[in-house]
């Protein structure tokens, strides 16, 4: 892929596009919002498949269990929305190194799908968890990096003094593989950028409760989670993952602002390593919170069912 084509693929796409979503859906409460938002944007986003990503925190006993729970959670959201999308299981572990892929149905599906696309007509890969499945597909077949665009919610802003963000620190090897592969790469950093995209209990109750099955589930799930640690205080809850979907809907910078930067790779000491002559990436640096939140709530609350 030449530089001109890469820069074109780093711009918000026009017209209807094909996408796949890679998600650790049971990790917390924001992936469910992202899935609902994705499936509410059918005028532009044609969802071809959803992949379950591994994760390991208090909600799982290990990466494999996290992936299995995410797989089940994806189907739960699809059922509430009365939607039918292919769902595939992903990796049961994180990468051991930067050269050995983990074979999974998700990685193999992405590889096969990528063969049907081209740099001029790419498949858009939205990743909102550890990026293991996508890294594995690229390691199996580097052509995947030529025929896709990866939009990832991962890492922290470059002005933050570390990269210990959940999605990135779980599988630094995978992040380095994908970001270093030359794939057109859009990064939505968490702390310092997307951390501004929060929602409150009054908004959840006013805009979502009582509207439909999926809106009830999202509101109740978010409130229950937040009040498990903040029942006696005012709170807002970050729903980070929605922003990765929204970048593809960001015509005329309606939802966020971004810039082209040289590649900066996370290293194993949890710092960014700047590559001055590296390939360019698209870096989101500002979220227009109220505009995006309005669109999200409007779409989900008007969903029938």
Burial 46-74 (b: 16+ CB within 10 A, else e): ebbbbbbbbbbeeebeebbbbbbbbbebb
Q: pLDDT tens digit string along 205-256?
A: 999 999 999 999 999 999 999 988 887 788 999 999 999 999 999 999 999 9
Phi, psi of 261, deg, nearest 5: -130, 160
CA angle 19, 25, 29 (to 5 degrees): 120
**What does the pLDDT look like over 45-93, one tens digit per residue?**
999 999 999 999 999 999 999 999 999 999 999 999 999 999 999 999 9
What are the residue boundaries of the structural domains of the chain, listed by start? 3-197+240-287, 198-238
Contact indicator for 89, 72 with CB cutoff of 8 Å = no
Q: What is the mean pLDDT of residues 178-193?
A: 97
pLDDT one-digit tens code per residue, 104-137: 999 999 999 999 999 999 999 999 999 999 999 9
Per-residue pLDDT, 3: 85
pLDDT of 7 over the 60 cut:
yes
The residue-averaged pLDDT of 3-28 equals 96
pLDDT of 305 reads 52
| 8 Å CB contact between 105 and 84 | no
Q: How far is CA 242 from the centre of its chain?
A: 8
Per-residue pLDDT tens for 135-185? 999 999 999 999 999 999 999 999 999 999 999 999 999 999 999 999 999
> CA 289, CA 278: separation in Å to the nearest integer?
31
Pairing of strands 148-153, 45-52: unpaired
* Closest residue by Cα to residue 279 from 152, 131, 178: 178
Tell me what the mean pLDDT of segment 257-284 comes to.
93
Alpha-helical segments (H) within 10-124? 30-38, 63-81, 105-114
Instruction: Report pLDDT for 12.
Output: 97
> Is domain 3-197+240-287 given the CATH code 3.90.245.10 in the classification?
yes
């Amino acid at each position: 892929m030449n530089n001109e084509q890469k820069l074109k693929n780093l711009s918000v796409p026009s017209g209807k596009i094909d996408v796949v979503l890679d998600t650790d859906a049971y990790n917390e409460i924001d992936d469910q919002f992202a899935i609902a938002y994705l499936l509410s944007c059918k005028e532009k986003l044609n969802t071809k498949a959803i992949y379950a990503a591994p994760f390991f925190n208090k909600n799982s006993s290990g990466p494999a269990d996290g992936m299995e729970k995410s797989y089940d959670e994806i189907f739960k959201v699809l059922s509430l929305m009365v939607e039918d999308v292919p769902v595939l299981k992903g990796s049961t572990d994180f990468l051991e190194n930067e050269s050995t892929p983990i074979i999974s149905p998700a990685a193999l599906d992405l590889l096969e799908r990528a063969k049907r696309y081209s740099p001029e007509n790419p498949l858009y890969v939205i990743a909102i968890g550890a990026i293991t499945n996508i890294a594995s597909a690229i390691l199996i077949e580097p052509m995947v990096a030529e025929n896709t665009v990866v939009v990832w919610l991962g890492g922290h802003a470059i002005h933050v003094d570390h990269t210990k963000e959940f999605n990135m620190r779980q599988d630094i090897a995978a992040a380095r593989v994908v970001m270093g592969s030359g794939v057109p790469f859009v990064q939505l950093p968490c702390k310092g950028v997307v951390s501004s995209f929060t929602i409150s209990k009054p908004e959840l109750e006013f805009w979502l409760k009582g509207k439909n099955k999926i809106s009830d589930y999202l509101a109740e799930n978010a409130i229950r989670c937040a009040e498990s640690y903040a029942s006696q205080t005012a709170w807002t809850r970050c729903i980070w993952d929605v922003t990765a979907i929204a970048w593809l809907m960001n015509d005329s910078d309606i939802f966020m602002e971004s810039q082209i930067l040289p590649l900066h790779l996370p290293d194993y000491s949890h710092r960014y390593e700047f590559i001055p002559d590296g390939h360019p990436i698209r870096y989101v640096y500002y979220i227009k919170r109220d505009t995006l939140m309005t669109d999200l709530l409007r779409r989900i609350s008007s969903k029938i069912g």
